[in-house]
Structure 1
Amino acid sequence: MKQQTVSILSNELCLSGVLHLPLNSVEQKVPLIVILHGFLGSKVGEHRMFVKAARFFTKRGFSVFRFDFSGCGESDGDYSNVAVTKQLKEVQTVLNYLSSIKEVDAENIILIGHSLGGAVASITAAQDRRIRKLILWSPVGKPYEDITKIMGAETVELARVNGKVDYNGFYVSHLFLEDLKNHHPLEAICSYKDEAFIIHAKEDEDVPTEHTYSYFDALRQRGCKKEVDKHFVEQADHTFSSYALEEELFNKSFEWLDKFSNNSEKIAL
């Protein structure tokens, strides 16, 4: 397994990322997984979940890229300037860069989005035909309603009055919240044409589990014969915060992806 840090320029800001490559990528192009973190998140993830996920999938033959949106983690910018509209453009910049890497199969790109990253992943998949598989982990379905519920009405009102609010050590702007109203992933997902898998934490304290049913129903009603599946991880909180819960999350995601492998040796333990 190889791991290398990557810096990608997007709208004059450097996005910090890490590319994980399996050893067999020297001999052949391999499928690429891109992980999108959520609200106030980073490419590391809570309890290093995205680091562990990247290494899990790389050991099984995938290349994996995890990165910080601007204003997050080690990327340039401040969270006070974050907006989902901007994040969608940053994902496009990232995908354009990754598609040029010789070890990556640009015709086999998989998006994994967690929480608000799930909403960004859904909208991206609906617009970008390079996305061949979509996996959503406890995805936000109604961005404005979900995020403002997490923050609380008093905090949201402070952001409106002052232009921004200090929330858990991040400046969240009123413009960020208003921009959320422009994005409707449950509607956008109907334009996605390939396979999808939704996994939700059964005891999710932040994002309603009902969103998984909404995504599932929207995908099933597209009129195309692409596989759609869902799974609930029992006793899991929003970030699947135990080794056992992570193991189920990763294994279920891999088992689903492995069903589409044409070469049992290409994606093997």
Structure 2
Amino acid sequence: MERQITIHHEEQQIAASIHYPAQCAKKEGRCKDRAPLVVICHGFVGNRIGVDRLFVKTARELAAEGNIVVRFDYIGCGESSGDYGREDVDSLIAQTRAVLDYGLSIGDIDPTKVTLLGHSLGGAIAILTAVRDRRVKNLVLWSSVGYPFSDIVKITGRKVYDASVKNGSADYLGYGFSPAFFESLGTYQPFQEAIKFSGDVLIVHGTSDDDIPVDYAFLYQKVFWTRPEGRCDKEIIFQGNHTYSSGEHQDQLLQKTKNWLGGLEATQNDWLNWMI
């Protein structure tokens, strides 16, 4: 079952979709009757549908595996109210936490299985949110941004940034970007903050990503491996582009993600059995 909702955040309305599992998979443990929660964070000037309906497909497949999935539009994107280019990174983090608030209030959520799945800039926002919100237990990072300012300016072109600083706003794909948006990107370093997250992480990247270098996947894994706790797994999709825009690459992406999320429960059960 799917339901369209509106989440109120300050004076804005965040449009979101909730996907409920047809039935919860048979589980063991004290939260066996509760479902894992996955929140999908889209990327720069994106929306909750995703390129080639990627996030719709993802949400439906993860729900079929027994997860409750929430996908949403950041303020000023998709069907949400507001102006995306007038927000900043702090706002994107706060919006993500507001969606987490809603997701965890649905009921029958397993608090030990709360995952943020972020694509591109959404991956960086997922990391920054997770290190500030202990309710997030797992991260799935698809083609994640590593250096927000330089990565996004590379996408928009330097002229857009310069025009924003000079004129107070600059157009990119119909969005008006303020200097504050760009400045906020430069104040955060996900590679440096990633070490503060103690949960489990899956990193996925395509080798033909022309927007965000596949090298970032290896750098992120190296950072996450330096932590005293929490596992980190990496999957590289050969010839996959930034949005995994072929049926074969989408299938690989979703299968690897489902297998990893499903494997977390098996690992946790093995650990509990070992402790007993």
Q: Which residue number in structure 1 is paired with residue 256 of structure 2?
A: 252
Q: Which residue number in structure 2 is paired with residue 266 of structure 1?
A: none
1:19 match: secondary structure: strand
Runs of 4+ in structure 1 deviating by more than 6 angstroms, as ranges, are none
- Alpha carbons 2:74, 2:84 under 8 Å: kept: no
Give structure 1 stretches of 5+ with no counterpart: 264-269
Matched, 1:22 2:21: yes
1:253 match: secondary structure: helix
Letter in 2 for 1:65: V
- Which stretch has the larger CA shift, 136-145 or 4-13? 4-13
Matches within 5 A, 1:87-106: 87-106=92-111
Q: CA deviation at 1:169?
A: 1.6
Q: CA deviation at 1:105?
A: 2.1
RMSD: 1.5
- Alpha carbons 2:146, 2:216 under 8 Å: kept: yes
Matches within 5 A, 1:63-78: 63-78=68-83
Q: CA deviation at 1:125?
A: 1.3
Following the alignment from structure 2 to structure 1, what is the Cα–Cα distance between the partners of residues 109 and 20? 9
1:131 match: secondary structure: coil
1:259 match: secondary structure: helix
User: What is the TM-score when the length of structure 1 is the normalising length?
Assistant: 0.93
Matched, 1:52 2:51: no
User: What is the TM-score when the length of structure 2 is the normalising length?
Assistant: 0.91
Residues 84-132 of structure 1: per-residue CA shift (max 9 Å, x gap)? 1101011111111211111322331111000000000011111211111
Q: Which residue number in structure 2 is paired with residue 182 of structure 1?
A: 187
% identical aligned pairs = 36
Aligned residues: 261
Q: Which residue number in structure 2 is paired with residue 267 of structure 1?
A: none
1:139 match: secondary structure: coil
Residues 170-212 of structure 1: per-residue CA shift (max 9 Å, x gap)? 1122210011011111111101001101000111011111211
- Which stretch has the larger CA shift, 12-21 or 146-155? 146-155
2:265 match: secondary structure: coil
Give structure 2 stretches of 5+ with no counterpart: 26-31, 268-276
Q: CA deviation at 1:25?
A: 4.7
Matched, 1:243 2:242: no
Q: CA deviation at 1:79?
A: 2.0
2:17 match: secondary structure: strand
Residues 59-105 of structure 1: per-residue CA shift (max 9 Å, x gap)? 11111100001111100101231211101011111111211111322
2:164 to 124, 140, 159: 159
Residues 231-261 of structure 1: per-residue CA shift (max 9 Å, x gap)? 1111111000011111100100111111122
1:5 match: secondary structure: strand
